[in-house]
Structure 1
Amino acid sequence: MRSIGEMARDSGLGVSALRFYDRAGVLVPAWVDPVSGYRWYEPEQLEEALLLARLRRAGMPLADIRLMLASWSGADTDLVRKLLKAHLRRLEQGLSDARSEFSTLRVLLDHRENAMTSLRIATVRLSVTAPELAAALDTVRFAASTDPELPMLGGVLFDIEGESLHVVTTDRYRMAVAQVGTAGYDGGRVQVIVPTPLADAMRALLAGVGPVRLSVDGDRVTLEAGDRQAAGQCLDHDFPDYRRLLPQATGHRTVVEVAALRKALQTGPVRSGESGDLSVLRVEDGGTVTLCADGAEDPDRVAVNRAFLLDALTAQARDRLILELGTPTAPIAIRRPDDEGTFSILMPVRLED
């Protein structure tokens, strides 16, 4: 017989997925150890698991998959063919509906472009202290996107409003925000996306302790530090409205010692995921954060990309941080106890199919 680990390896479904399909009555193991609860499968069930994996990749509903598996080995394949045909018809109709909705969205976007452009054509002059801007750039740099398919995320957003500058980056899976106080400008909101190479050049100028000058002239941004400057064109894109993505303060909120949490992440249990190693976190009743070997069946456990969380802890540059964990599908927030306007957000990773 095959162990659940061997079945996961050979079918590509994953251990948590196999557990889920067992509970759903779709692919039930041949035998379950009554003491340990460990699942075992007959060799011929591998064909069913491979078929199940294909059907799930094709987006077939579980109810239809259950009928498919029940009918697959029979002599009469009419039901199998009818289920495949019906699902293909649903997919084609869904694609047609999606094309229609996307066409409508493009029209709406065309109408909004002029209004959005006004945020990027103003002239701004302000000053900010070098250490504050350096710390802000260091805090958000790790979350900048490198995906060429999403050029609007390949930079650092400078969001200026009144005497406040928000520096923001996101690659969709994580987002970092830092707030800096400014002087010399108290006008309306202006946004520019500074390409990451230019942002890095600006950071290199911020070794001093005095004020530096930031200027925005339409699509050009300049940072002056003494007799040195870094200047260049902004990205000609619109950044997502990050304010709509900010998490609500819900769920578990606890203060963590960064050194201890970092050590636990580096030495504790991990799970393999499509995007890398995952750590499964849980906040106990006393506020202690623990790492779990599993967690697909526990509503209080949240899985996150381990490397992303380690990067976020480093970028916050504090010995103690506030960790906010909600449901397994809610974003994870990492905040500073002394500055909650500067924070990182990490998207969780689902553990079950």
Structure 2
Amino acid sequence: MRSIGELARDSGLGVSALRFYDRAGVLVPARVDPVSGYRWYGPEQLEEARVLARLRRAGMPLADVRLVLAAWPGADTGLVRGLLQAHLRRLETGLSEARGEFSALRNRLDLKEHPMTSPRTAAVRLTLSAPELAAALDAVRFAAGGDPELPVLGGVLFDAEGDALTVVATDRYRMAVARVGTDGHEGPRAQAVVPAPLTDAMRALLHGGGSARLTVVDGRVALETAGRETAGPCLDHDFPDYRRLTVLPAGRRAEVEVPLFRKQVETGPDRAERVREQDGAAYALSVLRFTDDGGVTVCADGDDGPDRVAVNREFLLEALTAGARDRLILECGAPTAPVAVRRPDDEDTFSVLMPVRLED
């Protein structure tokens, strides 16, 4: 007999996935301990689990997976072969349709080469508080991406409109937004994506008080403060529409004391099945539950309730640090919705963490 952990290790299925397939009646353990509820699997179930893992990776619908596993032990392979072939045809049809849709989208992008207001043709000059700009960059810089395949996400968006400058960073898995009021704005609305190294050079100049002068013209951005200046080219890409990405469903809100909550996150459960891979690197999850009394807790081992939401633990800790407050508000609309980390006194500065699915 194999324990659930051993079967997970030998088959390539996670423990949470095995629990899901048990509840779904797809791969039911040979024995369940009546006292502890622990699952045990027979020797013949290892092959079934490995078959299930392959079908899962291929994206076969659960109804067909049930039929494949039910027919697998039999001598007649006709049904299994038919199901595999039918799923392969669906995948090929779906891929062909996806290629057509992507081709149409690429054509639309080709016709939409000009940004809303190009920093290459419009000169924009802003005067801002140096400490407030420094605080805004500190609130978003942690979320900038590092994927060479997506260079536009390797910078910070500077969005100048009216009497405010909004700075935004995202790496697909999280997004951070901060807003700074301006003391003076010359020129139209403009957006510029500032490379991360230049953003860091700007931040290094913003010490002490006083004001800072930000200029965007001819595809270049410059920052001057206290007689010092740094400048460089903007990234030649259009940043995604962050306003659409930050419209979140209404949900539960919980105000937390950051030092106490940080300790709970740092010392919370870190089970094997709560470890994932992202861009080739392993990371741990923090599984949160928003309670009816307006609180939020880090779920303990064995807590498998339906209203949990999981996020990258390191990202959550970085968001708490970037929040720069002793108390922050956590907000979530559903287990499949992003988690927002907000400041109680500043609705324009916040970060958003994408959820991680716990089960199949």
TM (norm. structure 1) is 0.96
Separation in structure 2 between the aligned mates of residue 86 and residue 249 of structure 1, nearest angstrom? 38
Question: Quick check: 1:131 aligned with 2:131?
Answer: yes
Aligned to 2:71: 71
Task: Report the aligned-residue RMSD.
Answer: 1.6
Question: Quick check: 1:191 aligned with 2:191?
Answer: yes
Question: Quick check: 1:273 aligned with 2:280?
Answer: no
Q: Which amino acid aligns with 1:29?
A: P
Aligned to 2:319: 312
CA change 1:350–1:120 in 2 (3 A) is farther
Between stretches 149-158 and 9-18, larger displacement belongs to 9-18
Q: Which amino acid aligns with 1:9?
A: R
Question: Quick check: 1:58 aligned with 2:61?
Answer: no
Aligned to 2:220: 220
Aligned to 1:81: 81
Question: Quick check: 1:29 aligned with 2:32?
Answer: no
Q: Percent identity?
A: 72
Aligned to 1:8: 8
Aligned counterpart in structure 1 of residue 350 of structure 2, from 333, 343, 350: 343
Question: What's the CA shift for 1:273?
Answer: 2.2
What secondary structure is seen at the aligned counterpart in 1 of 2:336? coil
What secondary structure is seen at the aligned counterpart in 1 of 2:159? strand
CA change 1:177–1:340 in 2 (3 A) is same
Separation in structure 1 between the aligned mates of residue 186 and residue 301 of structure 2, nearest angstrom? 51
Separation in structure 2 between the aligned mates of residue 115 and residue 288 of structure 1, nearest angstrom? 43
Preserved CA contact (<8 Å) 1:295 1:301: no
Aligned to 1:113: 113
Separation in structure 1 between the aligned mates of residue 37 and residue 250 of structure 2, nearest angstrom? 34
Aligned to 2:235: 235
CA change 1:249–1:49 in 2 (3 A) is closer
Question: What's the CA shift for 1:70?
Answer: 1.5
Q: CA offsets per residue over residues 5-38 of structure 1, 9 Å max, x none?
A: 1111221211111111111111111112223222
Q: CA offsets per residue over residues 124-157 of structure 1, 9 Å max, x none?
A: 0111111001111111011000000101101000
Preserved CA contact (<8 Å) 2:289 2:296: yes
Aligned to 1:300: 307
Question: What's the CA shift for 1:88?
Answer: 1.1
Preserved CA contact (<8 Å) 2:122 2:187: no
Separation in structure 2 between the aligned mates of residue 119 and residue 82 of structure 1, nearest angstrom? 57
Q: Which segments of 5 or more consecutive residues in structure 1 lack a partner in the other structure?
A: none
Aligned to 1:162: 162
Q: CA offsets per residue over residues 239-281 of structure 1, 9 Å max, x none?
A: 0000001143621101100000110011111232234100111
* Equivalent residues, number: 353
Query: What does residue range 138-177 of structure 1 map to in structure 2 within 5 Å?
Result: 138-177=138-177
Between stretches 246-255 and 161-170, larger displacement belongs to 246-255
Separation in structure 2 between the aligned mates of residue 114 and residue 125 of structure 1, nearest angstrom? 21
Preserved CA contact (<8 Å) 1:156 1:196: yes
Q: Which amino acid aligns with 1:287?
A: G
Q: Which amino acid aligns with 1:337?
A: P
TM (norm. structure 2) is 0.94
Preserved CA contact (<8 Å) 2:117 2:190: no
Between stretches 44-53 and 118-127, larger displacement belongs to 118-127
Preserved CA contact (<8 Å) 1:162 1:187: no
Separation in structure 1 between the aligned mates of residue 218 and residue 41 of structure 2, nearest angstrom? 65
Preserved CA contact (<8 Å) 2:158 2:168: yes
Preserved CA contact (<8 Å) 1:161 1:187: no
Preserved CA contact (<8 Å) 1:331 1:345: yes
Separation in structure 2 between the aligned mates of residue 191 and residue 207 of structure 1, nearest angstrom? 25
Q: CA offsets per residue over residues 282-330 of structure 1, 9 Å max, x none?
A: 1222222211135785232111111000000011111000111221100
Preserved CA contact (<8 Å) 2:343 2:349: yes
Aligned counterpart in structure 2 of residue 286 of structure 1, from 284, 287, 293: 293
CA change 1:295–1:273 in 2 (3 A) is farther
Q: Which amino acid aligns with 1:192?
A: A
Preserved CA contact (<8 Å) 1:249 1:324: no
Question: What's the CA shift for 1:71?
Answer: 1.6
Preserved CA contact (<8 Å) 2:134 2:203: yes
CA change 1:294–1:246 in 2 (3 A) is farther
